[in-house]
Amino acid sequence: MMDKISKFRSSYLWYSFKNDKFAIASFLVFMLLLIIAVFAPLISPYNPYSPDNIFILNAEMPPFWIDGGSKEFLLGTDDQGRDLLSTMIYGLRISIMIGIGAVLLQAILGIIIGLISGYVGGKIDSFFMRLADVQLSFSYLMVAIFLSAIFKAAFGVGTFGEVAVPFLIIVIGLAQWPQYARTVRASVLAEKEKEYVQAARVTGFGSVKIMWSHILPNCLSPIFVLSTIQVANAVMSEAALSFLGLGMPVTRPSLGSLINSGFEYIFSGSWWITAFPGIVLVILVLSVNMLGDWLRDTLNPKLYKG
Protein backbone atom coordinates (compact mmCIF):
# COMPACT_ATOMS: atom_id res chain seq x y z
CA MET A 1 0.00 0.00 0.00
CA MET A 2 2.74 2.43 1.00
CA ASP A 3 4.49 1.34 -2.16
CA LYS A 4 1.55 2.43 -4.26
CA ILE A 5 1.17 5.73 -2.45
CA SER A 6 4.79 6.65 -2.94
CA LYS A 7 4.60 5.60 -6.58
CA PHE A 8 1.62 7.88 -7.05
CA ARG A 9 3.32 10.80 -5.42
CA SER A 10 6.25 10.58 -7.75
CA SER A 11 4.05 10.13 -10.79
CA TYR A 12 3.51 12.67 -13.49
CA LEU A 13 -0.23 12.76 -12.76
CA TRP A 14 0.29 14.12 -9.26
CA TYR A 15 2.99 16.54 -10.41
CA SER A 16 0.79 17.96 -13.11
CA PHE A 17 -2.13 18.23 -10.71
CA LYS A 18 -0.13 20.00 -8.01
CA ASN A 19 1.06 22.61 -10.46
CA ASP A 20 -2.22 23.34 -12.16
CA LYS A 21 -4.26 25.78 -10.10
CA PHE A 22 -7.35 25.28 -12.21
CA ALA A 23 -7.20 21.54 -11.76
CA ILE A 24 -6.93 21.85 -8.00
CA ALA A 25 -9.69 24.44 -7.84
CA SER A 26 -12.10 22.49 -10.01
CA PHE A 27 -11.36 19.29 -8.13
CA LEU A 28 -12.09 20.96 -4.79
CA VAL A 29 -15.28 22.51 -6.09
CA PHE A 30 -16.48 19.21 -7.49
CA MET A 31 -15.62 17.41 -4.26
CA LEU A 32 -17.53 20.03 -2.31
CA LEU A 33 -20.61 19.63 -4.48
CA LEU A 34 -20.30 15.86 -4.26
CA ILE A 35 -20.11 15.93 -0.47
CA ILE A 36 -23.11 18.23 -0.29
CA ALA A 37 -25.03 15.87 -2.53
CA VAL A 38 -24.07 12.73 -0.61
CA PHE A 39 -24.77 14.19 2.80
CA ALA A 40 -27.89 16.04 1.66
CA PRO A 41 -30.10 14.78 4.48
CA LEU A 42 -27.57 15.99 7.05
CA ILE A 43 -26.78 19.33 5.50
CA SER A 44 -30.09 20.47 4.17
CA PRO A 45 -32.09 22.66 6.57
CA TYR A 46 -35.39 21.07 5.54
CA ASN A 47 -36.56 17.99 3.74
CA PRO A 48 -38.21 19.42 0.66
CA TYR A 49 -40.10 16.25 -0.14
CA SER A 50 -41.95 16.05 3.09
CA PRO A 51 -45.36 17.61 2.77
CA ASP A 52 -44.97 19.13 6.26
CA ASN A 53 -42.54 21.57 4.81
CA ILE A 54 -44.68 22.89 2.08
CA PHE A 55 -46.70 25.86 3.14
CA ILE A 56 -48.21 27.48 0.17
CA LEU A 57 -48.34 30.67 2.18
CA ASN A 58 -44.57 30.77 2.15
CA ALA A 59 -44.42 30.68 -1.60
CA GLU A 60 -42.14 32.96 -3.48
CA MET A 61 -40.31 34.43 -0.55
CA PRO A 62 -37.10 36.17 -1.58
CA PRO A 63 -33.57 35.39 -0.23
CA PHE A 64 -32.93 36.56 3.29
CA TRP A 65 -30.92 39.64 2.41
CA ILE A 66 -33.80 41.15 0.51
CA ASP A 67 -36.90 42.77 2.03
CA GLY A 68 -39.53 40.21 2.66
CA GLY A 69 -37.09 37.37 3.14
CA SER A 70 -36.34 35.62 6.38
CA LYS A 71 -33.42 33.72 7.84
CA GLU A 72 -35.63 30.65 7.95
CA PHE A 73 -35.38 30.36 4.22
CA LEU A 74 -31.87 31.49 3.34
CA LEU A 75 -32.24 31.58 -0.39
CA GLY A 76 -35.93 32.14 -0.45
CA THR A 77 -38.69 29.73 -1.41
CA ASP A 78 -40.04 28.40 -4.67
CA ASP A 79 -43.54 28.66 -6.04
CA GLN A 80 -44.74 25.82 -3.82
CA GLY A 81 -43.37 27.23 -0.61
CA ARG A 82 -40.43 24.86 -0.37
CA ASP A 83 -37.13 26.18 0.96
CA LEU A 84 -35.06 26.84 -2.12
CA LEU A 85 -31.75 25.95 -0.52
CA SER A 86 -32.97 22.53 0.58
CA THR A 87 -34.61 21.84 -2.71
CA MET A 88 -31.42 22.83 -4.48
CA ILE A 89 -29.33 20.53 -2.33
CA TYR A 90 -31.58 17.57 -3.02
CA GLY A 91 -31.83 18.64 -6.62
CA LEU A 92 -28.04 18.66 -6.85
CA ARG A 93 -28.09 15.16 -5.47
CA ILE A 94 -30.47 13.98 -8.13
CA SER A 95 -28.54 15.71 -10.91
CA ILE A 96 -25.28 14.09 -9.83
CA MET A 97 -26.93 10.70 -9.35
CA ILE A 98 -28.36 10.76 -12.80
CA GLY A 99 -25.16 12.16 -14.25
CA ILE A 100 -22.97 9.46 -12.78
CA GLY A 101 -25.54 6.70 -13.21
CA ALA A 102 -26.04 7.45 -16.87
CA VAL A 103 -22.31 7.54 -17.43
CA LEU A 104 -21.85 4.20 -15.72
CA LEU A 105 -24.46 2.67 -18.00
CA GLN A 106 -22.98 4.22 -21.13
CA ALA A 107 -19.51 3.21 -20.09
CA ILE A 108 -20.25 -0.42 -19.36
CA LEU A 109 -22.27 -0.87 -22.52
CA GLY A 110 -19.91 1.14 -24.69
CA ILE A 111 -16.72 -0.45 -23.38
CA ILE A 112 -17.95 -3.98 -23.91
CA ILE A 113 -19.19 -3.24 -27.41
CA GLY A 114 -16.05 -1.27 -28.26
CA LEU A 115 -13.79 -4.08 -27.04
CA ILE A 116 -15.55 -6.77 -29.00
CA SER A 117 -15.98 -4.62 -32.07
CA GLY A 118 -12.34 -3.57 -32.17
CA TYR A 119 -10.80 -6.91 -31.34
CA VAL A 120 -12.94 -9.22 -33.42
CA GLY A 121 -13.38 -6.88 -36.36
CA GLY A 122 -15.06 -7.99 -39.56
CA LYS A 123 -18.81 -8.24 -39.80
CA ILE A 124 -19.39 -7.90 -36.06
CA ASP A 125 -17.47 -4.64 -36.10
CA SER A 126 -19.49 -3.35 -39.04
CA PHE A 127 -22.73 -4.32 -37.32
CA PHE A 128 -21.97 -2.54 -34.07
CA MET A 129 -20.63 0.54 -35.74
CA ARG A 130 -23.70 0.85 -37.93
CA LEU A 131 -25.83 0.36 -34.81
CA ALA A 132 -23.87 3.18 -33.19
CA ASP A 133 -24.49 5.38 -36.19
CA VAL A 134 -28.22 4.69 -35.99
CA GLN A 135 -28.20 5.38 -32.26
CA LEU A 136 -26.45 8.68 -32.73
CA SER A 137 -28.87 9.82 -35.39
CA PHE A 138 -31.73 9.63 -32.92
CA SER A 139 -31.96 12.79 -30.91
CA TYR A 140 -32.12 11.74 -27.29
CA LEU A 141 -34.76 14.40 -26.80
CA MET A 142 -37.03 12.71 -29.29
CA VAL A 143 -36.45 9.37 -27.65
CA ALA A 144 -37.12 10.84 -24.23
CA ILE A 145 -40.34 12.50 -25.35
CA PHE A 146 -41.50 9.36 -27.03
CA LEU A 147 -40.66 6.98 -24.22
CA SER A 148 -41.89 9.18 -21.42
CA ALA A 149 -45.16 9.86 -23.20
CA ILE A 150 -45.73 6.13 -23.62
CA PHE A 151 -44.71 5.43 -20.07
CA LYS A 152 -46.94 8.07 -18.60
CA ALA A 153 -49.84 6.94 -20.73
CA ALA A 154 -49.34 3.34 -19.71
CA PHE A 155 -48.50 3.71 -16.04
CA GLY A 156 -49.69 7.16 -15.05
CA VAL A 157 -47.84 10.25 -13.98
CA GLY A 158 -47.47 9.18 -10.39
CA THR A 159 -45.59 5.98 -11.17
CA PHE A 160 -43.48 7.92 -13.58
CA GLY A 161 -42.44 10.18 -10.73
CA GLU A 162 -41.19 7.19 -8.74
CA VAL A 163 -39.15 5.68 -11.49
CA ALA A 164 -38.02 8.97 -12.99
CA VAL A 165 -34.43 8.62 -11.85
CA PRO A 166 -33.79 5.15 -13.30
CA PHE A 167 -35.79 6.11 -16.37
CA LEU A 168 -33.61 9.12 -17.05
CA ILE A 169 -30.47 7.14 -16.36
CA ILE A 170 -31.53 4.60 -18.96
CA VAL A 171 -32.55 7.14 -21.59
CA ILE A 172 -29.42 9.23 -21.27
CA GLY A 173 -27.22 6.19 -20.82
CA LEU A 174 -28.49 4.46 -23.93
CA ALA A 175 -28.22 7.64 -25.94
CA GLN A 176 -24.52 8.02 -25.48
CA TRP A 177 -22.93 4.56 -25.46
CA PRO A 178 -21.60 5.07 -29.00
CA GLN A 179 -19.14 7.67 -27.68
CA TYR A 180 -17.53 5.09 -25.45
CA ALA A 181 -17.74 2.36 -28.03
CA ARG A 182 -15.94 4.43 -30.63
CA THR A 183 -13.26 5.65 -28.27
CA VAL A 184 -12.56 2.19 -26.91
CA ARG A 185 -12.64 0.67 -30.37
CA ALA A 186 -10.05 3.16 -31.58
CA SER A 187 -7.79 2.29 -28.66
CA VAL A 188 -8.30 -1.41 -29.18
CA LEU A 189 -7.42 -1.16 -32.86
CA ALA A 190 -4.18 0.55 -31.94
CA GLU A 191 -3.27 -1.82 -29.12
CA LYS A 192 -4.24 -4.92 -31.07
CA GLU A 193 -1.30 -4.50 -33.42
CA LYS A 194 1.21 -4.05 -30.64
CA GLU A 195 3.59 -6.83 -30.04
CA TYR A 196 2.65 -7.55 -26.45
CA VAL A 197 -0.79 -8.57 -27.69
CA GLN A 198 0.78 -10.81 -30.31
CA ALA A 199 3.04 -12.25 -27.65
CA ALA A 200 -0.07 -13.06 -25.65
CA ARG A 201 -1.54 -14.82 -28.68
CA VAL A 202 1.67 -16.74 -29.23
CA THR A 203 1.52 -17.90 -25.62
CA GLY A 204 -1.93 -19.27 -26.38
CA PHE A 205 -4.21 -16.99 -24.38
CA GLY A 206 -7.82 -16.86 -25.56
CA SER A 207 -9.52 -13.78 -27.01
CA VAL A 208 -11.59 -12.93 -23.95
CA LYS A 209 -8.60 -13.05 -21.65
CA ILE A 210 -6.58 -10.91 -24.00
CA MET A 211 -9.35 -8.34 -24.43
CA TRP A 212 -10.11 -8.07 -20.74
CA SER A 213 -6.77 -8.30 -18.98
CA HIS A 214 -4.30 -7.19 -21.62
CA ILE A 215 -5.95 -4.65 -23.86
CA LEU A 216 -8.57 -3.01 -21.66
CA PRO A 217 -6.14 -1.77 -18.96
CA ASN A 218 -4.27 0.04 -21.69
CA CYS A 219 -7.36 1.83 -22.93
CA LEU A 220 -8.21 3.37 -19.58
CA SER A 221 -6.77 6.83 -20.18
CA PRO A 222 -9.14 7.87 -22.95
CA ILE A 223 -11.97 6.29 -20.97
CA PHE A 224 -11.25 8.45 -17.94
CA VAL A 225 -11.05 11.60 -19.99
CA LEU A 226 -14.28 10.78 -21.80
CA SER A 227 -16.05 10.00 -18.55
CA THR A 228 -15.49 13.41 -17.04
CA ILE A 229 -16.83 15.05 -20.16
CA GLN A 230 -19.77 12.67 -20.30
CA VAL A 231 -20.74 13.32 -16.67
CA ALA A 232 -20.98 17.00 -17.50
CA ASN A 233 -22.98 16.18 -20.61
CA ALA A 234 -25.31 13.84 -18.76
CA VAL A 235 -26.03 16.44 -16.11
CA MET A 236 -26.76 18.95 -18.83
CA SER A 237 -28.96 16.51 -20.73
CA GLU A 238 -31.00 15.76 -17.64
CA ALA A 239 -31.31 19.47 -16.93
CA ALA A 240 -32.49 20.07 -20.45
CA LEU A 241 -35.04 17.27 -20.27
CA SER A 242 -36.32 18.48 -16.92
CA PHE A 243 -36.43 22.03 -18.18
CA LEU A 244 -38.67 20.84 -20.99
CA GLY A 245 -40.86 19.05 -18.52
CA LEU A 246 -39.79 15.60 -19.67
CA GLY A 247 -37.47 14.83 -16.80
CA MET A 248 -37.84 14.94 -13.08
CA PRO A 249 -41.35 15.70 -11.88
CA VAL A 250 -42.23 18.80 -9.88
CA THR A 251 -42.47 16.76 -6.68
CA ARG A 252 -38.83 15.68 -6.87
CA PRO A 253 -37.14 18.41 -8.77
CA SER A 254 -33.63 18.33 -10.03
CA LEU A 255 -31.67 21.48 -10.73
CA GLY A 256 -33.07 21.49 -14.24
CA SER A 257 -36.70 21.27 -13.19
CA LEU A 258 -36.14 24.02 -10.65
CA ILE A 259 -34.81 26.23 -13.37
CA ASN A 260 -37.86 25.36 -15.40
CA SER A 261 -40.40 25.99 -12.71
CA GLY A 262 -38.79 29.27 -11.81
CA PHE A 263 -38.71 30.41 -15.39
CA GLU A 264 -42.26 31.64 -15.45
CA TYR A 265 -41.61 33.74 -12.40
CA ILE A 266 -38.57 35.60 -13.63
CA PHE A 267 -40.56 38.38 -15.12
CA SER A 268 -42.85 38.66 -12.17
CA GLY A 269 -39.88 39.36 -9.99
CA SER A 270 -39.03 36.07 -8.29
CA TRP A 271 -35.74 35.67 -10.10
CA TRP A 272 -34.08 33.60 -7.40
CA ILE A 273 -36.00 30.45 -8.17
CA THR A 274 -34.26 30.17 -11.52
CA ALA A 275 -31.04 32.02 -10.74
CA PHE A 276 -29.62 30.01 -7.85
CA PRO A 277 -30.17 26.52 -9.26
CA GLY A 278 -28.83 27.86 -12.55
CA ILE A 279 -25.64 29.08 -10.91
CA VAL A 280 -25.10 25.78 -9.12
CA LEU A 281 -25.68 23.84 -12.33
CA VAL A 282 -23.15 25.96 -14.17
CA ILE A 283 -20.59 25.52 -11.40
CA LEU A 284 -21.09 21.75 -11.38
CA VAL A 285 -20.73 21.37 -15.13
CA LEU A 286 -17.82 23.81 -15.28
CA SER A 287 -15.83 22.06 -12.59
CA VAL A 288 -16.29 18.65 -14.18
CA ASN A 289 -15.37 19.97 -17.61
CA MET A 290 -12.25 21.65 -16.31
CA LEU A 291 -11.17 18.48 -14.59
CA GLY A 292 -11.69 16.69 -17.88
CA ASP A 293 -9.60 19.26 -19.71
CA TRP A 294 -6.73 18.91 -17.28
CA LEU A 295 -6.95 15.13 -17.41
CA ARG A 296 -6.89 15.13 -21.20
CA ASP A 297 -3.78 17.29 -21.31
CA THR A 298 -2.01 15.25 -18.67
CA LEU A 299 -2.80 11.90 -20.19
CA ASN A 300 -1.73 13.11 -23.62
CA PRO A 301 -0.52 10.06 -25.57
CA LYS A 302 2.90 11.60 -26.05
CA LEU A 303 3.52 10.62 -22.49
CA TYR A 304 2.62 7.00 -23.07
CA LYS A 305 6.10 6.36 -24.37
CA GLY A 306 7.43 7.26 -20.97
Give how far Cα 64 sits from Cα of 12, 67, 241, 252, 296, Å: 47, 7, 31, 24, 42
Is 203 a residue that touches other proteins (CB under 8 A)?
yes
In the bound complex, what is the minimum distance in angstroms from residue 123's beta carbon to other proteins?
11
Q: How far is the CB of 128 from other proteins (least distance, A)?
A: 15
**Positions 65 through 84 that interact with other proteins (CB under 8 A):** none
Is residue 201 a contact point for other proteins (CB under 8 A)? yes
Q: How far is the CB of 82 from other proteins (least distance, A)?
A: 50
What is the end-to-end Cα distance of the chain in Å, rounded? 23
Minimum Å distance from CB 24 to other proteins? 17
What does R_g of the chain's alpha carbons equal in angstroms?
23
Nearest-approach distance from CB 126 to other proteins, in angstroms: 8
Query: Applying CB under 8 A, does 204 fall inside the site for other proteins?
Result: yes
Is residue 199 at the binding interface for other proteins, with CB under 8 A as the rule?
Answer: yes
**Cα–Cα distance, 190 to 181 (Å, whole number):** 14
CA distance 15 to 18: 5
- According to the binding rule CB under 8 A, does residue 17 interact with other proteins? no
Quick one: which of 8, 11, 15, 158 contacts other proteins (CB under 8 A)? 15
With the CA atoms of 46, 52, 57 and 58 taken in that order, what torsion angle do they form, in degrees rounded to the nearest 10? 0
Of 69, 66, 70, 87, give the one whose Cα is nearest residue 78.
87
- Which residues lie near other proteins (CB under 8 A)? 3, 15, 126, 194-196, 198-206, 214, 217-218, 304-306
